[in-house]
Amino acid sequence: MSSLPLPPDLVDGLGAGRATPIGGGDTAAAFRLDTARGPLFAKTVADLPAGTMAVEVAGLRALREHAPGLLGVPEVVRWSDDGIVLEWIEEAARRPAGADAAFGRCLAALHRVHGGAFGALEPGLPGRIGSSGLDMSPTDDWAAFLLDRRIRPLMRAAVEAGRIAPRAAELLEDLAPRARELAGPEEPPTLVHGDLWTGNRLVDVHGRNWLVDPSAYWGHREADLAMMLLFGGFGEECLAAYAAEHPLAPGWEARVPWYQLPPLLVHAVRFGGGYGSAATSALLRLRG
């Protein structure tokens, strides 16, 4: 029986002699495990809604299966409803020259992976974004999926939590008739990371890019690009390399505020602060 500060079902049999705490975000406890097979990454998250870890595992496995060779996705070593053990990534102290452009090209290749319908990667997986449950059943209608299954439910949650003024919900309904225009030209369902901020893209000591901590689903690639732009950290070289490999539809920059509404509303619900105001500002920009 393990004496490590991790559930036994995650570490028993791995030969782990030490678990060193490392940064794990705002809800997770993360560790470097020193094992007989080398270092591994482990994290646990308290009070996860049922199925949440299964969604992350499905995303990691889908991304690992389809990512181009130069883009790494860690192997899932073991997982349970409360935590996960992954291949260890030795991060570089500084991103080397060319890493941003390489990431842009790799992401463009990943976004050429298409599925049969928008929604969950696998039947039966629960739909979640942050702490909110969402309908991820398959659909052919991306514009309606984005508005009715993501933006509207998250707006309701933010208003009910007092994180955003009710006026924002009114602004959203003013824009709702333009949902198809705001979602952009139709594209096939695309494998998206789903939470692509700079902290979920790593570069290792060999200069290889990696994707971690996905909320992957079959969606629209502009959702990943909008998330990348929301918090920054990817650089102009990255976006230019992406566009050269897989050009975006005209007007995509004008659609960024629409695609940024889900993450802004999630952050408003979870953290408050200025995220509600940022979501309202996005709606006002779209209204013109």
Domain boundary pick from 45, 60, 88: 88
On the question of pLDDT at 1 being above 50, the answer is no
Q: Which CATH number do you get for residue 66?
A: 3.30.200.20
d(CA 164, CA 273): 10
DSSP one-letter string for 163-229: SS-HHHHHHHHHHGGGHHHHH-S----EEE-S---GGGEEEBTTS-EEE-S---EEE-HHHHHHHHH
Exposure string for 234-252, b = 16+ CB within 10 A, e = fewer: bbebbbebbeeebebeeeb
Whether residue 59 is found in the same domain as residue 114: no
Structural domain tally of the chain?
Answer: 2
DSSP one-letter string for 245-279: HSPPPTTHHHHHHHHHHHHHHHHHHHH-TTHHHHH
Whether residue 84 is found in the same domain as residue 167: no
Mean per-residue pLDDT over the chain, rounded: 93
On the question of pLDDT at 26 being above 90, the answer is no
Whether residue 78 is found in the same domain as residue 181: no
Please name every residue paired with 20 in a beta bridge, in sequence order, or none if there are none: 32
> Are the C-beta atoms of 3 and 19 separated by less than 8 Å?
no
Q: Which CATH number do you get for residue 192?
A: 3.90.1200.10
Q: For the whole model, what pTM was predicted?
A: 0.95
Q: What is the arithmetic mean of pLDDT over 54-67? A: 96
d(CA 218, CA 120): 6
Whether residue 78 is found in the same domain as residue 103: no
What residues are annotated to the active site? 195
pLDDT band at 66 (very low <50, low <70, confident <90, very high): very high
Written as one letter, the residue type at 90 is E
